[in-house]
Amino acid sequence: MKSRTTPSRLRIAAAASVAMAMGTVGLTALTGTASAATDDVTVQYRTSATGVTADQAEPWLKVRNTGSSTLPLSSVKVRYYFKADSADAAYRFACSWAVKGCANITGTFGTLANPTATADRYLDIGFTAGAGTLAPGADTGDMQLRFHRADWQTLNQGDDYSFGPSQTSYADWSKVTAQVSGSTVWGTAPEGNDPTDPPTDPPTDPPAGGQSLFDDFNYTSSSDPKVSANGWNVRANSGGPGVPGATWSPENVTFASSGGNSIMNLRTSTAGTAESTKHTEVLTKATKFKNGTYAARVKFADAPLSGPDGDHLVQTFFTINDLKAPMADDYAEYDFEYLPNGGWGEPANILYTTSWETYNPDPWQAVNQHTESRQSYAGWHDLVLTIDNSSIKYYVDGRLFGTHDAAYLPERPMSINFNQWLIDLAGQTSTTARSYDEQVDYVLHVKDQVLTPAQVAAKVSAYRTAGTAFEDNVPSS
């Protein structure tokens, strides 16, 4: 994995007008038209940025519980639809003020499965558990939200589906949709964007055959001879990414039993100095993986095992090959990266999925596409990445998180990697020792087959039922 000062340097590069291609994409449309008889919530909208052109859009919203029972706000998602100013335009979300607290409101951008003349992107507004609940008849109060282009160029609201220039006071607004626990209960999505992905009844039986790598991580220690024999390298060599002068520690990679399964534990530790900082990484020795399905069950952590919190930590599952030359077009990398305490210019927890075409390390230029979600992902998560000849798709816990374009498809095979490391020592400057754990339950790759998350679960269950802890019949590239 290359030095992952990537997102922060990507943003610095954007601010400096360094040429790059980047985008914010995400979930395919999950909304449709709701029946008034089944409404559980209504959404009211107003804007204080009424101009057709503006520095930023300002969709101010209220969500009201029109049902008969208490509604957890964490089950609600509100979607605002708009037309991007250009195909590669990137956007940033912000909350200016909210009765429920801006820290309890999330904003995630995505692309529509079926673009229209007035919508090809959307902004999903969600709520953390800290937002609490709504009693019947209650509403959230003001949510003064805004978004702008990442390069701060003027944006055009005139062709945005959800924009209402005359809405200067709150009123019900059906051009913003709302879901409760995944079901659309309010509003009308742009034409052609009814829920179609994932399908209502996705197949659960994996297709027959398929050359696969599966590992249940049933080892005794990082020095267990089976680790190397099964094609894994536990990193010990120096270098990036992360804190300069830190070491990569094989002894910090351990194996244990949890919940009836064997797990791999990657521990990153520090006492606030480069010399005391130990990163961890486990990767396949072979670079033989390309199209198909990649999956892992990973446990992210928001807090250290002990000691002060706040370090700029990165917890990952990714695939990658080597950059043969600056801006080489046969480079490829596909990342799940969780930052529990922010970093790269982000103030708090954020999950990135990023598809890389290429980059230039000096001067920094990046060609990638990414999806992001600003909320806590502490705990176990099922991560699935699929690559075919048309797109790259990322799933988290069975739901589509991001779809990235064919321009970012791999030209060469890659390795499979897990690592955990500190971006810098600026997040927590204490010299008190602390450590963080990232755990991995299993990893699966199926060559040239695109599996649904349900099919992944079925295939893993079949391996475990058969008592198969390891299999690798993926041919060398």
List the end-to-end C-alpha distance of the chain, in Å, as a whole number.
19
Q: Are 97 and 144 in contact (CB under 8 A)?
A: yes
| E strand or H helix at 12 | helix 6-15
Q: How far apart are CA 202 and CA 298, in angstroms?
A: 23
DSSP state of 460: H
**Sheet of 171-172: strands edge to edge?**
91-98, 143-149, 59-65, 41-47, 171-172
Q: How many CA atoms lie within 13 A of 408 on its CB side?
A: 26
**459 — pLDDT class (breaks 50, 70, 90):** very high
Phi, psi of 325 (to 5 degrees): -160, 155
**11 — pLDDT class (breaks 50, 70, 90):** very low
Phi, psi of 12 (to 5 degrees): -60, -40
* pLDDT beyond 50 at 242: yes
Q: How far apart are CA 71 and CA 81, in angstroms?
A: 24
- Give the pLDDT confidence score for residue 159 in this predicted structure: 95
Q: Are 98 and 126 in contact (CB under 8 A)?
A: no
Q: How far apart are CA 311 and CA 80, in angstroms?
A: 34
Give mean pLDDT, residues 396-414. 91
Q: Tokens at residue 442, please?
A: 């299993």
Q: Judge residue 477's burial from the number of C-beta atoms within 10 Å of its C-beta, 0-12 exposed, 13-18 middle, 19 or more buried.
A: exposed
Give mean pLDDT, residues 197-221. 77
Range in 101-105, 172-176, 230-234 the model is least confident about: 101-105
Q: Are 9 and 131 in contact (CB under 8 A)?
A: no
| Residue scoring higher pLDDT (39 or 316) | 316
| Other beta carbons less than 10 A from residue 247's beta carbon | 17
What share of the chain has pLDDT > 90, as a percent?
73
Closest Cα to residue 253, out of 16, 435, 76? 435
Residues 6+ apart with CB under 8 A from 402: 25, 26, 27, 110, 353, 370, 371, 393, 394
| Residue 219 vs residues 120, 225, 252, 316: alpha-carbon distances, Å | 47, 9, 14, 21
Q: Judge residue 285's burial from the number of C-beta atoms within 10 Å of its C-beta, 0-12 exposed, 13-18 middle, 19 or more buried.
A: exposed
Task: Give the largest Cα separation in the chain, rounded.
Answer: 69
Residue with tokens 């994996």: 206
Give mean pLDDT, residues 280-306. 97
Closest Cα to residue 410, out of 304, 307, 318, 313? 318
- Give the pLDDT confidence score for residue 286 in this predicted structure: 97
**22 — pLDDT class (breaks 50, 70, 90):** very low
* pLDDT beyond 70 at 201: no
Give mean pLDDT, residues 391-417. 92
Residue with tokens 């400057």: 429
| Other beta carbons less than 10 A from residue 349's beta carbon | 21
Q: pLDDT tens across 119-142, in order?
A: 999 999 989 888 899 999 999 999
Q: Are 204 and 249 in contact (CB under 8 A)?
A: no
Phi, psi of 36 (to 5 degrees): -60, -25
- Give the pLDDT confidence score for residue 23 in this predicted structure: 31
Q: Which amino acid is at 142?
A: D
| Residue scoring higher pLDDT (424 or 126) | 424
DSSP state of 405: -
- Give the pLDDT confidence score for residue 171 in this predicted structure: 97
Give mean pLDDT, residues 345-349. 92
* pLDDT beyond 70 at 199: no
Q: Tokens at residue 98, please?
A: 């909210």
Q: pLDDT tens across 256-272, in order?
A: 988 788 999 999 999 99
Q: How far apart are CA 268 and CA 315, in angstroms?
A: 10
**154 — pLDDT class (breaks 50, 70, 90):** very high
* pLDDT beyond 90 at 87: no
Instruction: With 0.85 as the threshold, say if the pTM is over it.
Output: no
